[in-house]
Structure 1
Amino acid sequence: MRIKEQRVLRGPNLYAETPCLLAEIDAAGGPGMLPDLHERLLALLPALPTGAAKGLASGASIDQAIEPVAMHLQTEAGAPAGFSHTVASQGGQYHIACGYECEQVAALALATTVELLNALVRGEQYPMAEALERLRAAAARHAIGTSTAAVLAAAQRRGIPSMRLLDQANLFQLGWGSRQKRLQATITGATNAIAVGIARNKQLTKTLLEQAGVPVPAGATVDSLEDALRVARQLGGIVTVKPLDANQGKGVTTTCGTPDQVERAWEHARGYGPRVIVEEYLAGRDYRVLVTGTRVAAASWRRPPFVTGDGRHSVRELVECENRNPARGDGHTKVLTRIALDELAVHTLAAQGYSADCVPAAGVDVQLRGNANLSTGGTAEDVTDLLPDETRELCVRAARTIGLDVAGIDIVCEDIARPLREQHGGIIEVNAAPGIRMHQYPSHGKPRNAGAAIVEQMFGEDDGRIPVIGVSGSTGATTTTLLIGHAARMAGMRTGMTTADGVYISGNRTMQGDCTGYRCARSVLASPEVDIAVLETGHDGVLQHGLAFDRCDVAVVLNVADDGEARLQAVVARGASRAVVLNAEDDRCVAMAADLKERIEVLYVSLDAENPVLLRHLEGGGRGAYLLDHTLVIADGMRHKALIDAHQMRISAGGVARHLLASALAATCALAASGFGDLEIRDALRSFTWDSMAAAPCSNASDAHGVSTGAAMDS
């Protein structure tokens, strides 16, 4: 058994509306049934879902195990998928489509499945533990951070499209074209770079906040241990020591009351940067307030990592037990982070009279860190509803003083429900790129949709979408695309187009050659210069990678060569969210109308004014366009309006180039469905020519018709 071919379908495709991995498996000459297949698989994968296990126990062949095992391995890796589908063909060939959360994990899971089943056939032992470790490592390597995932999920719920710009980084584009925004973790494209720099410099942050009337702890930045000890003496009492520009609580020691403690804290902080802050220790609890724009979105009480004694287990054993909590993981991959029993934890334990091997009494909480960051194993409790208006106003002012659109405000005080100045509380830090998992998934209290608050700050009421028109057909698609794009440019819209001739952005050809596939369409949707996208979508592109968009406003299917092509072009039609333009003279096109989503308008076009499909549609109140005595007519139910004489169209060759007139009819309906008026459509049809685009850098290329292309307006 082997994988003959494998490809990733990143958009809607033949098998699903969501991305999937498609593989062709050659199982010809395989062993067929293995009597003990069910038992041997369960021995290796005891958590295999009951339904799959029962199916295999009832006498399934080894080929039938590929799909359920591959799906289960994705789940074991921590990246579960939503669906799978197997199609058997002749001669032991199988096409398997597996949904995925992470495409790299899906590919590795399928390869592992084939290795595993081949080993079972040969009667060999398979190193399942090592394979699972590889899968989990791949899932962790390609995982989207918890905070980023919360923002993306909120965007998805609002219908805002997204795409990952780099496989190895949490850098995303939300929205298409000129209405796009960028996101990395919780830093948005609007986040001020200077503000991020200020937030990293804790002393500068404190100075600006103090000038703005925000309460902050007294302190100073020092470059030597001698200066650190001097500032600690001047402040008197307990001090906090931390690096000047670290984050996530790295290098922070909160309660230093003796010179020895200050020295240890100094050495610890110096491991994260050359300059160190020594500041007044504010007594009380550690709180984090999330500010998005001009409002407080959430607030949490952050508790340092701790374990609770049971009178039987040591601190070390209690930490190991807590770290087995499935909610805890490494870094930011899970809701909580594993607790480190490191040197700082040892010092924190010693301050409480414990060591790692001590057995705390039952019910006693033992703290393992001075700071309460979730990244060091802390937990959080929601306190959003407790914040007084005065504290909310101070937090918003702090974020605006630094210049951040999304900020995490760290507060220390005894009681967050009371105004800060009443209790000698203060703001100790303002953080750019704040983590939001504490608000999304608090250990106690009400979860807050922090991701949605960030999306609202980024987009307001907008959905981030530009109009998208998908055009497909065995002939005439390039002409139709260019006609639609020309009309949009005449209306003052910056237009992005993909065609069989190249990619055009605002009339300039940016890529040359057949650009009707996934990647070229994505380049248009990623361009901030595009107000409307008109995407010629080849059936081969749909076959290889799926659609480049999750949905388009209007889809156009001009004609179909055969049944196989019809299935692929139907994917384009099903992707429409507003309207589909179909050729009434092509039976395969007409059949697509039956598979559209509810409330999707169908517009029919025909060169034959007496076409029965068109006539029935118009009699039923539908819209369409047809040719009558060299006149293009647009119809809306019983209203039929002469749009333009074909002789007035420069590309119609005196009205005899019927294939071009068919494209003009399709473009007319697509424009009408997109909200263009009759006059705008008429002017575009009249002025469109095959002259070279003056601004196109690659103007010597030829399109599918064998002539140089261009859309030029009348002078």
Structure 2
Amino acid sequence: MNIVEQRFLRGPSLYAATPCLLAVIDLAGQQNAAGLGARLLALLPAMPAEAAARLSDCQAAHEALEPVVMELQRLAGAPGTFGMTKTDPARPGQGRVVCGYTVEQVAGQALRTAAALIDACAGHVPFDLDAALDDLRDTAHRHAIGTSTAAVLAAAHRRGIPSLRLIEEANLFQLGWGSRQKRLQATITGATNHVAVGIASDKQLTKTLLDQAGVPVPAGSTVTTLEQALREARRIKGPVTVKPLDANQGKGVTVNCATQDEIARAFEFACKYGRHVIVEEFLQGRDYRVLVTGRKVAAASWRRPPHVTGDGVSTVRELVENENRNPARGDGHANILTKIPLDDLALQVLANQGHDLDSVPAEGSVVDLRGNANLSTGGTAEDVTDLLPEETRDICIRAARTIGLDVAGIDIVCQDIARPLREQNGGIIEVNAAPGIRMHQYPSRGTPRDAGAAIVDALFGEDDGRIPVVAVTGTNGKTTTSLLIAHVTRLAGLRTGVTTTEGVYIDGERIVKGDCTGYRSARTVLASPDVDFAVLETARGGILKRGLAFDRCDVAVVLNVSADHLGLDGIDTVEELARVKFVIAERARRAVVLNAEDDHCVAMSSELAHGVEILYFSLDADNPVLLRHLENGGRGVYLEDNTIVLANGTRHEALLDVRTMPCTMKGAARYNIANALAAAAALSATGFGNIEIAAGLRTFVSDWKHNPLRSNVFDVDGVTVIFDYAHNTAAYAALAETARALTPGRLVGVVAAPGDRRDEDLVAIGETCAAGFDELVVYETENRGRAAGEVAALLVQGARLGKYETDHLQVELDVHEAIRAGLARCEPGDVLVFGCGSALTELTEAIRPTSPATASRIEAEAV
């Protein structure tokens, strides 16, 4: 099986709203294998019925891939939610397999394993499936999110709070976006005080502070020698607990030490985990854990040491092995319970009860395997939240606040948690930062408590952690529209993050340079704590390659849909391209801004989620789609007599004269007027007032410094040069129309197009340019795999289809020679359009030999 490409679509995509893996399969030369499905099912007999039915008579390897990948993920313990196999009549040699996933690394490995397994079955070759599944399970285990973290994330998602996994190795997550985000690592939050964590890790310092705050704690002190430990035990005059000063999860703890030998053994054991050891009063009673989140008690559990109950037949070893087969138990913290270890400490605890591993406990007798009740060493928990007296709740909250922790696990020992601590000589023995919460989420007995939700409530209150997000897509105009919106929001005092084809900008400063219209760049903005408002230019390529970086946006803007990039990434028609753009629209939750003059945009309106507002924009005040929408009480923005008008049903308000907007070239650049209409609609949908919108539109400048490659105008010795990254038919037609409105003279086009466009698209660009310009110079820029001269030849072929006269057409493959040739065809007062340019140096270096002063002036203007 030849997998020619695979992509992880990490956010909403053309296929699903959740993460999925896309694999492109080369079907050329693929041979069907009779009985393939039956052999696979024999190896995977537990496959769900629907998938098994599809696989049962399957003979084609690519059709077997998706159900096998999904089953391997399920068996690894990281199941995906959906899968599909697609073939395209337009691409008979390719198949597309899409598999949902929960763990990206498992999905990628499952794809490779599935391909190898299918090839083996097709060729009747042995395959070690057990070993492959062990590897998959190991991958799933290594990349799993801990139970406590998962509970907090699940609670956040139920609240609609978005999350990002920032660093997998550190298991670090971001909840919320931008300036309203919170950080989470296990149950340590961004609000957790570093000094408080240090205090909590020093058990003696913790006890001292709690004692000073009037919180009941056991007597005791820190020692470094056995002699000191024995002396402290004599001072306490009773059984003692011996434990390391700064270990966690019950490591090195021995309780109820009454003799010198017991203390000596306990001291030696504690020293394995640290040089400093605490010897303190052993409090009689049960072990309880109280979870404090913010200023409230969220849950309380009675923690029982790991134990087994005798049946009069089985040995202790057999009882433990049977308990460890409980599906709830596993290794580490990814499971509800942890397996009970049979180590030296367990043997010692057994010996203290008169048992060893081969003992057969009497039926009904309880045998402990640990002296402490930590879940990390196999303990269990029973919920007792409702039993806590108000006094005990107050003590626990005071203890957490005394240490300085926003989320704390308070360890209490007392006879009966339902009684006040002081009257039964109970006390707090530890305060823990980063407390595990699985005992509260999944108690062995009692009422489960949503500790994850309690932590989320403490972090966010009633907030959802979201900043306003406007996503902008379309074939042309995305960058200018995004910058227009961002300019208005910054003028309103909001720190704005914006992604464009030129870079990522945070509050006006470019922090990343390049084409930044995809997943990673949007994530950069949403992860920045310095962003109050996000404007995300979202291009076709970014959607298809990685999906969206956001689960939803407040407002989506779809400017237009026309032929561009067709033949790439499985998108062959304008209708398919429109479906890609619609991915943005269907993620909007407040409003969608649509072009009333674009049929593909208008068609999207019928598929939007219920309750999402539609705002239309149009350069034509009499557009029937717009008029019908307004008659039905909808909102829209349109142009009438050079004035932008905002309409809400029958109420129409003039916003500003477009000729006062620098980016419209005194009203000549109708495409930038359309961009301004869309921006005004998006801003109105997000709650900005007319005065704020008008002020922003009136002051936005589309020059090289603020909006490079977007209709930047330069004067070259009396010739007006419009520099624009036009690269498709619609863009060149719009530029020609604008340039024609600027001069009574001639229009000269210096044009190119990227080489990854289809032949017919390059021919169409040439034909469009021939219709729009009086003189034409064709050059080449990014050939992207084509031979030198091939792109230019196709553009020339298109120009000649328009019956362009040969003496008005010139080919200069080098960009500098092309610009010089174009300028040579101009006279003062003419306009030269330089399309598909990529850098200002292309212009300045072209004119420097003959006009060095002009080249230097242009460079200075652009700074």
Structures share a fold, TM > 0.5? yes
Partners of 1:644 and 1:91 in 2: CA distance: 53
Which deviates more, 306-315 or 390-399? 306-315
Q: For each residue in 1:673-713, what CA deviation from the matched residue of structure 2 results, as whole angstroms up to 9, or x when unmatched?
A: 000011111111111112566999xxx9998476999xxxx
* 1:259 is aligned to 2:260: yes
Give the match's secondary structure for 1:492: coil
Partners of 1:486 and 1:708 in 2: CA distance: 23
Give the match's secondary structure for 2:174: strand
**2:859 counterpart residue number:** none
Q: What is the CA-CA distance between 1:191 and the residue it aligns to? A: 0.3
Q: For each residue in 1:480-506, what CA deviation from the matched residue of structure 2 results, as whole angstroms up to 9, or x when unmatched?
A: 001100100111100100011111111
Gapped runs of 5+ residues in structure 1? 710-715
Corresponding residue to 1:613 among 625, 647, 659: 625
* 1:637 is aligned to 2:638: no
Give the match's secondary structure for 1:682: helix
Contact 2:338–2:376 (CA under 8 A) maintained in structure 1:
yes
RMSD: 1.8
Distance 1:416 1:695, change over 3 A: farther
Contact 1:173–1:180 (CA under 8 A) maintained in structure 2:
yes
* 1:45 is aligned to 2:48: no
Partners of 1:280 and 1:703 in 2: CA distance: 79
**2:18 counterpart residue number:** 18
**2:421 counterpart residue number:** 420
Partners of 2:237 and 2:579 in 1: CA distance: 78
Q: What is the CA-CA distance between 1:593 and the residue it aligns to? A: 1.0
Amino acid at match of 2:576: G
Which deviates more, 362-371 or 89-98? 89-98
Partners of 1:349 and 1:602 in 2: CA distance: 71
Q: What is the CA-CA distance between 1:62 and the residue it aligns to? A: 3.9
Partners of 1:378 and 1:27 in 2: CA distance: 54
Q: What is the CA-CA distance between 1:519 and the residue it aligns to? A: 0.6
**2:808 counterpart residue number:** none
Amino acid at match of 2:458: Q
Distance 1:483 1:707, change over 3 A: farther
Distance 1:492 1:606, change over 3 A: same
Amino acid at match of 1:100: Y
Partners of 1:704 and 1:42 in 2: CA distance: 54
* 1:204 is aligned to 2:216: no
**1:103 counterpart residue number:** 104
* 1:568 is aligned to 2:580: yes
Partners of 1:137 and 1:349 in 2: CA distance: 32
Contact 1:556–1:582 (CA under 8 A) maintained in structure 2:
yes
Distance 1:427 1:307, change over 3 A: same
**2:438 counterpart residue number:** 437
- Within-5 A mapping of 1:496-511: 496-511=497-512
Distance 1:707 1:34, change over 3 A: closer
**1:66 counterpart residue number:** 65
Contact 2:36–2:122 (CA under 8 A) maintained in structure 1:
no
Partners of 1:482 and 1:676 in 2: CA distance: 16
Partners of 1:254 and 1:30 in 2: CA distance: 68
Partners of 1:388 and 1:360 in 2: CA distance: 37
Partners of 1:37 and 1:501 in 2: CA distance: 50
Partners of 1:501 and 1:423 in 2: CA distance: 69
Q: For each residue in 1:148-199, what CA deviation from the matched residue of structure 2 results, as whole angstroms up to 9, or x when unmatched?
A: 0000000000000000001222100000000000000000000000000000
**1:685 counterpart residue number:** 697
Q: What is the CA-CA distance between 1:378 and the residue it aligns to? A: 0.3
Distance 1:153 1:98, change over 3 A: same
Partners of 2:269 and 2:183 in 1: CA distance: 36
**2:34 counterpart residue number:** 34
Partners of 2:368 and 2:234 in 1: CA distance: 27
Which deviates more, 63-72 or 85-94? 85-94
Give the match's secondary structure for 1:134: helix
Partners of 1:657 and 1:601 in 2: CA distance: 29
Partners of 1:636 and 1:60 in 2: CA distance: 59
Give the match's secondary structure for 2:410: strand
- Within-5 A mapping of 1:509-658: 509-561=510-562, 562-658=574-670
Amino acid at match of 1:30: Q
Give the match's secondary structure for 2:382: strand
Q: TM-score, normalised by structure 1?
A: 0.96
**1:5 counterpart residue number:** 5
Amino acid at match of 2:192: T
Amino acid at match of 1:559: N
Contact 1:690–1:707 (CA under 8 A) maintained in structure 2:
no
Amino acid at match of 1:678: N
Partners of 2:116 and 2:57 in 1: CA distance: 23
**1:56 counterpart residue number:** 55
Give the match's secondary structure for 2:517: coil
Contact 1:500–1:703 (CA under 8 A) maintained in structure 2:
no
Which deviates more, 500-509 or 63-72? 63-72
Partners of 1:3 and 1:9 in 2: CA distance: 17
Partners of 2:683 and 2:507 in 1: CA distance: 18
Give the match's secondary structure for 1:173: strand
Q: What is the CA-CA distance between 1:513 and the residue it aligns to? A: 1.6
Partners of 1:537 and 1:37 in 2: CA distance: 41
Partners of 1:540 and 1:31 in 2: CA distance: 33
Amino acid at match of 1:572: I
Q: What is the CA-CA distance between 1:33 and the residue it aligns to? A: 4.0
Give the match's secondary structure for 2:663: coil
Distance 1:255 1:693, change over 3 A: farther
Partners of 2:544 and 2:61 in 1: CA distance: 28
**2:673 counterpart residue number:** 661
Amino acid at match of 2:14: L
Partners of 1:175 and 1:188 in 2: CA distance: 13
Partners of 2:282 and 2:456 in 1: CA distance: 36
**1:393 counterpart residue number:** 394
Q: For each residue in 1:371-423, what CA deviation from the matched residue of structure 2 results, as whole angstroms up to 9, or x when unmatched?
A: 00000000000000000000000000000000000000000000000000111
Gapped runs of 5+ residues in structure 2? 563-573, 714-722, 727-836, 841-863
Amino acid at match of 2:47: L
Partners of 1:461 and 1:137 in 2: CA distance: 39
Contact 1:500–1:704 (CA under 8 A) maintained in structure 2:
no
Give the match's secondary structure for 1:165: strand
Give the match's secondary structure for 2:346: helix
Count of residues in Structure 1 that have an aligned counterpart in Structure 2: 705
Larger radius of gyration: 2
Q: What is the CA-CA distance between 1:360 and the residue it aligns to? A: 1.2
Q: What is the CA-CA distance between 1:431 and the residue it aligns to? A: 0.2
**1:713 counterpart residue number:** none
Give the match's secondary structure for 2:30: coil
Partners of 1:552 and 1:695 in 2: CA distance: 24
**2:83 counterpart residue number:** 84
Q: What is the CA-CA distance between 1:651 and the residue it aligns to? A: 1.6
Partners of 2:360 and 2:43 in 1: CA distance: 37
Give the match's secondary structure for 1:541: helix
- Within-5 A mapping of 1:177-188: 177-188=178-189
Amino acid at match of 2:402: T
Partners of 2:36 and 2:470 in 1: CA distance: 54
Amino acid at match of 1:77: A
Q: For each residue in 1:589-637, what CA deviation from the matched residue of structure 2 results, as whole angstroms up to 9, or x when unmatched?
A: 1111111111111111111111111111111111111111111111111
Q: What is the CA-CA distance between 1:24 and the residue it aligns to? A: 1.0
**2:117 counterpart residue number:** 116
Contact 2:596–2:618 (CA under 8 A) maintained in structure 1:
yes
* 1:411 is aligned to 2:412: yes
Partners of 2:26 and 2:357 in 1: CA distance: 55
Partners of 2:37 and 2:152 in 1: CA distance: 43
Amino acid at match of 1:630: N
**1:712 counterpart residue number:** none
* 1:371 is aligned to 2:372: yes
Partners of 1:479 and 1:124 in 2: CA distance: 58
Partners of 1:536 and 1:208 in 2: CA distance: 53
Partners of 2:343 and 2:607 in 1: CA distance: 60
Partners of 2:522 and 2:49 in 1: CA distance: 42
